[in-house]
Amino acid sequence: MTVLCLVETDAHGIRDSSLPALAVARALADSADSADSADSAGEHLAAAWVGVDAVVDGGSLALAGVDRGCAIDLGATAGYAPAAWARGLAGLATAGVGDGFGPVSAVVAAATDRGNEVLAHLGAITGLPMAANCVSASRIAPGRCQLVRQRWAGSLLEDAVLESPVALLTVATDAVAAQQAGEPGSASSDRTDTPASMAMSGPVPVPVPVLRYEPALTGGDLLVQAAESADRSAGVSLATARVVVGGGRGVGGPDGFTMLEELADLLGGVLGVSRVVTSQGWRPHRQQVGQTGTKISPELYLACGISGAIQHMAGCQGAKTIIAINTDPDAPMVAKADYAVIGDLHQVIPALIEALKQRGYR
């Protein structure tokens, strides 16, 4: 049996959001050990990605315990096409990922917009149930999985049982510790079903066989495709920023964000805002942090004048350290932060900017 995990890639390799999905997929595969005595060594783990030219970090694959890579070949289709991606996964789930790997028992993906969408298409194509936003999954019997998943923006956890011949799961990107990424390597997919040595400089030089799979698409599968979209800026992105300076209603108006942007620049970070700020039209929607905005995972999140609604916390709970600056000591953000400054941000931020400038930051 094999657990198949869809990994999203970019120009640098596997996206960070896919690493927790790989971790949960590996745990699910290992749990088959106790659930099925006939499979005492647990299940295999295969990683699937779209595009034969995709840059795949061999170190991350090896450290995540991947036994098999699967490059889905969609031919000339360059952009993201959700139904076509799902058709590729459906084909792999039906045909298997190679001799000796057995049938596919689960398909796992990150609970990103794309991961949730692709697995929803996969569920519709196959008629199988799907569970979204899982934080853990284990096999309790053949065809039965015990799940814990996030509900209501992560404010509640649901214990659930999924009964399905192939379990379809997406994994909350901020609730699971990702496997440590290895050094960059490469996984070749230029030969069909042939072991390809990964030219890795990392600590675990394991050869991972890579299957090149070309699904049979229907006309409708390519009806919806994403147009290529260039990054808005060549600088730091909100999703990957090391430091995010957040502003909420307490900023008071559009002019107040000038000082927050200056502080973000000094810290080498970017500006993020709460929903009320975008709803008021003070800042563009693309800067929104939260359940319906961007989910961030910086080293430091400096939340200024943000009350800390559940929907906002759903987007920032991946931050390693949260500092709240707020006039209200009883604000939820103050309670949930690691550190707090009680005071008016219009006094604290200018003083902080001045202190940074005195240290030579420009």
Residues within window 186-225 making contact with another protein, judged by CB under 8 A = 220, 223-225
Give CA–CA dist 294/252, Å, rounded.
22
Examine residue 141 and tell whether it contacts another protein (CB under 8 A). no
Examine residue 178 and tell whether it contacts another protein (CB under 8 A). no
Min separation Cβ 184 and another protein, Å: 19
Nearer to another protein, 208 or 289 (CB): 289
> What x-and-dash track marks residues 25-54 binding another protein by CB under 8 A?
------------------------------
Q: Report CA torsion sign: 100, 105, 107, 111.
A: negative
CB count within 10 Å of CB 220 equals 10
Among residues 5, 107, 89, 8, the alpha carbon closest in space to that of 56 is found at 8
Whether the Cβ atoms of residue 104 and residue 166 lie closer than 8 Å to each other: yes
Nearer to another protein, 190 or 338 (CB): 338
- Choices 33-41, 177-185, 187-195, 237-245 (CB under 8 A): range interacting with another protein: 237-245
Given 34, 180, 192, 240, the residue binding another protein (CB under 8 A): 240
- Choices 25-33, 61-69, 183-191, 239-247 (CB under 8 A): range interacting with another protein: 239-247
CB count within 10 Å of CB 227 equals 6
Q: Cα 114 from chain centroid?
A: 10
Min separation Cβ 299 and another protein, Å: 6
Nearer to another protein, 62 or 333 (CB): 333
Whether the Cβ atoms of residue 300 and residue 243 lie closer than 8 Å to each other: yes
Rounded (5°) CA angle 177-22-114: 100
Please spell the DSSP secondary structure of 2-71, one letter per residue. Answer: EEEEE--EETTEE-TTHHHHHHHHHHHHHHHHHH-GGGTT--EEEEEEE-TT----HHHHHHTT--EEEE
Subset of residues 287 to 326 that bind another protein, contact rule: CB under 8 A: 288, 291-294, 299-300, 321, 323-324
Nearer to another protein, 95 or 351 (CB): 351
Subset of residues 100 to 139 that bind another protein, contact rule: CB under 8 A: 113-114, 116-117, 120-121, 123-125, 128-131
Subset of residues 52 to 81 that bind another protein, contact rule: CB under 8 A: 79-80
Given 34, 161, 207, 258, the residue binding another protein (CB under 8 A): 161
Give CA–CA dist 362/357, Å, rounded.
6
Min separation Cβ 325 and another protein, Å: 8
Name the token pair of 325. 């600056």
Nearer to another protein, 15 or 68 (CB): 15
Min separation Cβ 146 and another protein, Å: 9
Examine residue 339 and tell whether it contacts another protein (CB under 8 A). yes
**145 to 60, 115, 150: CA distances (angstroms):** 26, 20, 16
Examine residue 12 and tell whether it contacts another protein (CB under 8 A). no
Name the token pair of 78. 């360059």
Subset of residues 244 to 273 that bind another protein, contact rule: CB under 8 A: 267-268
Give CA–CA dist 269/263, Å, rounded.
8
Examine residue 163 and tell whether it contacts another protein (CB under 8 A). yes
Examine residue 276 and tell whether it contacts another protein (CB under 8 A). no
Whether the Cβ atoms of residue 211 and residue 193 lie closer than 8 Å to each other: yes
Min separation Cβ 315 and another protein, Å: 12
